[in-house]
């Protein structure tokens, strides 16, 4: 057998070896994606109506006010990302420093993460309802004027949603960043201490640069999650209201698709736009963090 | 050799013939093939109290058992569902895969029309007796067009109006049994008197857009009529010029502005609990939730108030809203259409309705079921509803396209709280219709 023949045979065997994975990927990733892209260019109603209408769904969406409003809403909710990373960082540092009761708090902080998102959402909705515990507390301490309809206006409704998102993610962020901190050789901190650095200097000039990749991952993941994963919170806390004030693109996809006279073609168009937006944002973030990491190196 | 061969073939032939005969005989003794129907049953066939008990104890289970006993060879599997837009989406997916339920409970009117392509038109199947004695066929006839395809059997009629706490109304010096408010001006004046006693006069639930659509949206159709609803919906006329629509919104907004409603009218989720515990004097209520209200307040304190008249020249002169909001339909992919129709017809029979009414709270969708049949002849509330139901306005949400109604649900709370004017909202509705075109 010549060398060329042997190489060809090896190539064939390798291709056969990875064929199942490729086929499964095509079946479960490429086909649904291609199907959604095609259906976004139809007037599909969930049944048999599926006429090709080109880019009409996209153009119609771009003409509506609610599309732009829901897009802006997604960016407003992004505020939760730096807050949850910051809080997670503080929590992980307290755990890393083995503050009093750290073992107990390590479990406690992670607790929200294992509760169903919808349950958390409903709890926040009840807590912040007009006659809920938050307003009762405010009234009982004489702050009657602060006992408002939290879910009735855009600003406060967003405040409640963002608080819920931060609260549920503290544990995840804490554990993730703690993992990053644990991978740093303790002698680095010892050396910094010997050099006379204080706590803040150690945090900003030693620790943060060393866990840059962890924070980058956390940032990229949390941004993508904010665009695609906050549905249960919006559904259970505000139901997208008042009006479209807290509706996100992901929630709008659901509303278009699961309405009684479902506009699934439009829902698919929204899903494609969402995919493009998340992909672009992830690409930008990776570029920025690559540059930041270059500077740190 | 030849004899042996002949004998061999004869034996083989005999075996084949015997097998065929046995097979045929077996087929003949088997009789008709058993038929199994699946039925996705919603709130018209079981209630939340029943849901806490085993399904074998539900009224619908007993009705199904009777049907099975009277129709040997047909069995029905009842699958309880919560009728919602998500359930309809599931039904659509199952229907295009042709493995959906044979029979399903759906909402009538504009909710059922988009499902026409997967539903069996029943025109040729419905017995004449059913057509004559069941009410609400127009609600299940495609596009409400006389003679159009009938997409389901109406099941259960619900009616809604205003419900009130008699003790709270009395405390404000009024007796609505003897002297109810007859116009919206009188109603508003009465609410002011209630407010003066320190009670929230009118409790709204805005969380899921239920402030208006459910009942008080009646005032829109009273002034504008159904024809106007249709022409607004298809863009021939404008919401902006629809006086009934604007008057309704302005009236509701004025109630909120004057503090005649709960302060959290736009977002509250607990209006039923608060009315039941005596915190609200008036709210919207129908046959479906009246039983719970009556049980909480006591029959002596629970009152039902027909809608006071808002329009000086009403196009619809009913005083309650309601009708056949739900129906049972058959998937056009079913392999057993005759049996499915037989079952649906049985569900709509007088006997089945009387049995069902013991558990579900809706009124039977039959003209030959009397209050005596149901044991309600000494029940003042049901007697009143029964009388009023002889002239009712059909559900508005079942009469307009779902995407327009969704927009109303979404924005009514904003209009109510004054963040958008009625005219601005009406213009937004017109734009929505135009965009859809």
Give the residue on B whose Cα is nearest the Cα of A60: B435
Report residue A9 as tokens.
């045979």
Whether B35-151+326-387 shares its CATH topology with B159-322+395-436 is answered yes
Q: How far is A65 from chain B (nearest CA, A)?
A: 10
User: Confidence band (pLDDT; 50, 70, 90) for B220?
Assistant: very high
User: Confidence band (pLDDT; 50, 70, 90) for B19?
Assistant: low
More confident residue, B52 or A165: A165
Instruction: State what percent of residues in chain B have pLDDT above 90.
Output: 63
Q: What is the mean pLDDT of residues B96-105?
A: 93
Cα B107 from Cα B104, distance rounded (Å): 10
Cβ-based contacts of A234 with chain B (< 8 Å): none
Contact (CB, 8 A) for B247 and B223: yes
Which tens digit of pLDDT belongs to each residue from B115-124? 999 999 999 9
CB–CB contact A47 B96 (8 Å): yes
CB–CB contact A48 B401 (8 Å): no
B202 DSSP β-pair partners: B261, B282
CB–CB contact B95 A47 (8 Å): yes
> What is the ipTM metric for this complex?
0.80
Of A45, A63, A130, the CB nearest to B264: A130
User: Confidence band (pLDDT; 50, 70, 90) for B3?
Assistant: low
Contact (CB, 8 A) for A67 and A56: no
- Domain positions in chain A: 70-247
Q: What is the mean pLDDT of residues B320-348?
A: 94
Which tens digit of pLDDT belongs to each residue from A248-291? 999 999 999 887 778 899 999 999 999 999 999 989 988 887 77
Q: How far is A40 from chain B (nearest CA, A)?
A: 16
CB–CB contact A129 B267 (8 Å): yes
- Angle between helix B218-233 and helix B422-436 axes, rounded to 10 deg: 30
Would the pLDDT of B10 be above 80? no
Cα B179 from Cα B173, distance rounded (Å): 11
User: Confidence band (pLDDT; 50, 70, 90) for A241?
Assistant: confident
Which tens digit of pLDDT belongs to each residue from B108-149? 999 999 999 999 999 999 999 999 999 999 999 999 999 999
Contact (CB, 8 A) for B397 and B215: no
Which tens digit of pLDDT belongs to each residue from A69-86? 999 999 999 999 999 999
Cβ-based contacts of A151 with chain B (< 8 Å): 267
Give the residue on A whose Cα is nearest the Cα of B410: A243
Cα B169 from Cα B174, distance rounded (Å): 6
Q: What is the mean pLDDT of residues B248-255?
A: 94
More confident residue, B158 or B27: B158
Which tens digit of pLDDT belongs to each residue from B368-397? 988 888 888 888 888 888 889 888 999 998
What homologous superfamily does CATH list for B159-322+395-436?
A: Periplasmic binding protein-like II (3.40.190.10)
Cβ-based contacts of B110 with chain A (< 8 Å): 260-261
pLDDT at residue B363, rounded to an integer? 84
Q: How far is B393 from chain A (nearest CA, A)?
A: 22
Residue with tokens 């809920």: A132
Would the pLDDT of B32 be above 90? no
Residue with tokens 């609600």: B139
> Which has the closest alpha carbon to B63: B268, B352, B310, B287?
B352
Q: What is the mean pLDDT of residues B334-347?
A: 95
pLDDT at residue A3, rounded to an integer? 76
φ, ψ dihedrals at B124, nearest 5°: -85, -5
Instruction: State what percent of residues in chain A have pLDDT above 90.
Output: 53
CB–CB contact B435 A64 (8 Å): yes
CB–CB contact B269 A125 (8 Å): yes
Instruction: State what percent of residues in chain A have pLDDT above 70.
Output: 98
Task: Find how far residue B138's CA is from the centre of its chain.
Answer: 14
Helix (H, G, I), strand (E, B) or coil at B216: coil
pLDDT at residue B204, rounded to an integer? 87
What homologous superfamily does CATH list for B35-151+326-387?
A: Periplasmic binding protein-like II (3.40.190.10)
Contact (CB, 8 A) for B271 and B203: yes
- Domain positions in chain B: 35-151+326-387, 159-322+395-436
Which tens digit of pLDDT belongs to each residue from B258-315? 999 999 888 888 888 999 999 999 998 888 788 889 889 998 999 999 999 999 899 9
- Just give the CATH number of A70-247: 1.10.3720.10
Helix (H, G, I), strand (E, B) or coil at B154: strand
């Amino acid at each position: 057998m010549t060398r060329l023949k042997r190489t060809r045979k090896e190539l064939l065997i390798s291709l056969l070896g990875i064929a199942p994975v490729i086929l499964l990927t095509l079946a479960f990733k490429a086909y649904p994606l291609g199907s959604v892209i095609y259906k976004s260019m139809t007037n599909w109603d969930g049944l048999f109506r599926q006429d090709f209408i080109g880019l009409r769904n996209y153009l119609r969406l771009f003409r509506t006010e609610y599309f732009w409003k829901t897009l802006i809403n997604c960016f407003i909710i992004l505020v939760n990302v730096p807050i949850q990373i910051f809080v997670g960082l503080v929590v992980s540092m307290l755990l890393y420093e083995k503050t009093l009761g750290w073992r107990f708090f390590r479990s406690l902080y992670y607790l929200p993460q294992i509760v169903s998102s919808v349950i958390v959402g409903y709890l926040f909705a009840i807590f912040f309802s007009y006659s809920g515990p938050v307003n009762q507390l405010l009234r009982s301490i004489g702050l009657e004027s602060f006992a408002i309809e939290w879910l009735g206006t855009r600003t406060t409704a967003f405040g409640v949603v963002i608080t819920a998102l931060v609260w549920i993610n503290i544990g995840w962020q804490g554990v993730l960043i703690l993992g990053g901190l644990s991978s740093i050789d303790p002698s680095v901190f010892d050396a910094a201490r010997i050099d006379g650095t204080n706590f803040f200097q150690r945090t900003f000039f030693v620790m943060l640069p060393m866990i840059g990749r962890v924070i980058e991952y956390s940032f990229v993941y949390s941004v993508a999650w904010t665009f695609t994963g906050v549905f249960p919170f919006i559904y259970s806390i505000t139901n997208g209201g008042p009006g479209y004030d807290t509706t996100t693109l992901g929630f709008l996809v659901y509303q278009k698709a699961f309405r009684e006279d479902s506009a699934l073609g439009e829902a698919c168009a929204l899903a494609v736009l969402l995919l493009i937006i998340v992909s672009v944002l992830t690409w930008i973030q990776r570029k920025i963090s690559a540059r930041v990491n270059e500077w740190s190196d | 050799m030849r004899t042996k061969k002949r004998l061999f073939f004869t034996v083989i032939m005999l075996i084949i013939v015997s097998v065929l005969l046995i097979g045929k005989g077996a087929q003949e003794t088997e009789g008709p093939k058993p038929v199994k129907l699946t039925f996705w049953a919603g709130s018209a066939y079981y209630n939340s109290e029943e849901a806490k008990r085993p399904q074998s104890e539900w009224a619908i289970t007993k009705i199904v058992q009777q049907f099975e006993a009277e129709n040997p060879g047909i069995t029905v599997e009842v699958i309880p569902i919560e009728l919602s837009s998500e359930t309809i989406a599931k039904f659509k997916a199952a229907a295009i895969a042709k493995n959906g339920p044979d029979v399903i409970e759906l909402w009538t009117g504009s909710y059922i029309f988009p499902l026409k392509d997967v539903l069996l038109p029943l025109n040729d199947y419905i017995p004449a007796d059913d057509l004559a004695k069941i009410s609400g066929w127009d609600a299940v006839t495609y596009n409400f067009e006389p003679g159009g395809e009938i997409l389901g059997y109406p099941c259960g009629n619900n009616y809604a109006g205003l419900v009130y706490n008699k003790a709270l109304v009395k405390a404000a010096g009024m007796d609505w049994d003897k002297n109810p408010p007859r116009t919206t001006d009188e109603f508003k004046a009465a609410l002011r008197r209630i407010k003066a006693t320190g009670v929230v006069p009118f409790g709204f639930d805005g969380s899921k857009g239920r402030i208006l659509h459910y009942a008080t949206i009646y005032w829109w159709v009273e002034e504008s009529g159904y024809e106007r609803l249709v022409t607004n919906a298809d863009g021939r006329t404008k919401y902006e010029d629809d006086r009934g629509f604007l008057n309704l919104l302005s009236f509701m907004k004025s109630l909120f502005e004057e503090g005649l409603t709960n302060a959290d009218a736009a977002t509250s989720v607990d209006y039923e609990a608060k009315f039941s515990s005596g915190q609200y004097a008036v709210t919207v209520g129908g046959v479906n939730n009246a039983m719970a209200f009556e049980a909480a307040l006591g029959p002596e304190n629970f009152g039902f108030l027909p809608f006071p008249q808002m329009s000086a020249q009403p196009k619809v002169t009913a005083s309650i809203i309601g009708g056949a909001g739900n129906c049972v339909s058959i998937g056009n992919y079913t392999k057993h259409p005759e049996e499915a129709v037989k079952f649906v017809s049985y569900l709509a029979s007088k006997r089945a309705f009387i049995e069902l009414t013991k558990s579900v709270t809706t009124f039977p969708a039959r003209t030959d079921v009397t209050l005596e049949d149901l044991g309600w002849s000494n029940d003042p509330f049901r007697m009143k509803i029964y009388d009023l139901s002889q002239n009712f306005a059909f559900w508005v949400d079942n009469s307009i396209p779902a995407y327009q109604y969704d927009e109303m649900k979404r924005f009514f709370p904003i209009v109510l709280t004054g963040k958008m004017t009625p005219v601005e909202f009406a213009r937004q509705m017109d734009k929505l219709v135009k965009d859809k075109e």
